Chain A
Amino acid sequence: MNEEKPEFLKGTLDMLILKVVALGPIHGYAIAQRIQQISRDFFQLQQGSLYPALHRLEDRGWLRAEWKATETGRDAKFYALTPKGRKQLEAEVHNWERLTDAVALILRTAE
């Protein structure tokens, strides 16, 4: 399972990050926690691979970043969704649903 994950995750990781950030400005560590939480620990991703993805999404203009103080008083880099990012998220969710529908169809009829 661990070997397959990197291939599988590349496109979907972006989508998951966008979804998590869509709920409100959030920093990297919290994103990692949430993904683990929501997916009920299914994704044991190398947490380090989160950050290149975050930087990539920021570079593409889908996320906006800002250094703010956290409750502990320490500064952290908070990411928020841009309008472009919101559109991208909608598009990716749409594509994902179509993909899963198609795969399900094939699996059902192939039996």
Chain B
Amino acid sequence: MDAMNTGGTRTVGYDRVVLPGGRQLSRREFEALPLRERVGYLMEGTAQFFNGATQVTAADAMKG
């Protein structure tokens, strides 16, 4: 998983999440999910986070 952009600056934060089954959510929609559900995705590592076109790790996504 590439968490770096071409300029070498670490990309943090996210604006889009892809959940298991291909369901795509905006950041606002993801944050509106019940905490239990969000924590479940993060514990299982099954959610993919994107900042623009760049995929970021869950850890970096949560930093921004």
State whether these chains interact.
no
Q: Footprint of B on A, CB under 8 Å?
A: none
